[in-house]
């Protein structure tokens, strides 16, 4: 049976604007307005989920979705870097940041490595094969979308850094028996600025 998985990246927030390792930063008023404006573009689904972060939870609500949190869809766990800005961490731990960017197995922050994130996202994606839920929709952090793309296309983990996932865009996977096809980056609706 073919399954269709649709991943929506959450709306913009202050942490994303500041290039922070966000942790659980919620949406700001602008992000809430943008998500509400995009609600009309959300496709129908049989199973609707969201990552456990405040940003994903609030985006799902603003999109009008009745969804359940799935901890397998949690954001990339970045340990002690959580909440810090990338420029701050780069200044205080330049060797750690260099290792993190170059080596997919590195976790100098004490959290999850890129390899671990890709394995987790891939396991979740593959777990949907054979389920009765033909159309699955989930609001997930951009890192989870990128990791799922790496897994679905059987790319080397370093390809993760080559994907940009804009807020409130839809990435669609369809497949059967572990073979995935993609449709990437469709905006949900015209998103007002401000």
Q: What is the pLDDT of residues 24-66, one digit of tens each?
A: 778 889 999 999 999 999 999 999 999 999 999 999 999 999 9
pLDDT over threshold 60, residue 192: no
The HSE-up count of residue 89 (CA atoms within 13 Å, CB side) is: 22
Query: pLDDT tens digits for 92-147?
Result: 999 999 999 999 999 999 999 999 999 999 999 989 887 766 899 999 999 999 99
Residue 142 · residue 169 · CB < 8 Å? no
Instruction: Give the pLDDT score at 187.
Output: 76
Instruction: Give the pLDDT score at 23.
Output: 63
- Three-state DSSP state, 102: helix
Instruction: Give the pLDDT score at 188.
Output: 80
The HSE-up count of residue 154 (CA atoms within 13 Å, CB side) is: 4
Instruction: Give the pLDDT score at 193.
Output: 45
pLDDT over threshold 90, residue 159: yes
Q: CB under 8 Å to 144, separation ≥6 — which residues?
A: 7, 51, 73, 74, 75, 76, 117, 121
The candidate with the shortest Cα–Cα distance to 172, out of 151, 148, 143, is: 148
User: How far from the centroid of its chain's Cα atoms is residue 135's Cα?
Assistant: 18
Compute the Cα dihedral for 94, 95, 98, 100 and give only its sign.
negative
For the segment 183-194, the average pLDDT, to the nearest whole number, is 64
pLDDT over threshold 80, residue 69: yes
Domain annotation for the chain: domains and CATH numbers:
3-187 (3.40.50.1240)
Query: pLDDT tens digits for 135-149?
Result: 999 999 999 999 999
The candidate with the shortest Cα–Cα distance to 124, out of 54, 57, 173, 59, is: 173
Q: CB under 8 Å to 11, separation ≥6 — which residues?
A: 27, 31, 32, 34, 35, 38, 55, 58, 59, 62, 167, 168
Cα distances (angstroms) measured from residue 91 to each of 34, 86, 116, 148: 33, 9, 25, 30
pLDDT over threshold 90, residue 20: no
């Amino acid at each position: 049976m073919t399954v269709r998985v649709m991943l929506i990246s959450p709306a913009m927030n202050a942490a994303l604007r500041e290039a922070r390792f966000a942790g659980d930063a919620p949406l700001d008023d602008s992000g809430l307005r943008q998500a509400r404006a995009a609600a009309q573009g959300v496709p129908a689904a049989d199973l609707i989920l969201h990552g456990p972060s405040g940003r994903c939870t609030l985006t799902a609500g603003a999109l009008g979705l009745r969804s359940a949190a799935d901890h397998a869809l949690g954001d990339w766990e970045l340990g002690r870097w959580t909440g810090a800005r990338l420029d701050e961490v780069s200044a205080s731990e330049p060797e750690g940041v260099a290792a993190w960017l170059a080596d997919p197995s590195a976790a100098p922050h004490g959290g999850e490595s890129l390899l671990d994130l890709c394995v987790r996202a891939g396991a979740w994606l593959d777990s949907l094969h054979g389920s009765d839920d033909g159309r699955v929709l989930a609001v997930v952090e951009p890192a989870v979308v990128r990791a799922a793309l790496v897994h679905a296309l059987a790319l080397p983990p370093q390809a993760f850094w080559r994907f940009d996932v804009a807020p409130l865009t839809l990435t669609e996977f369809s497949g059967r028996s572990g073979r995935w096809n993609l449709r990437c980056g469709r905006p949900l609706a015209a998103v007002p600025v401000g």
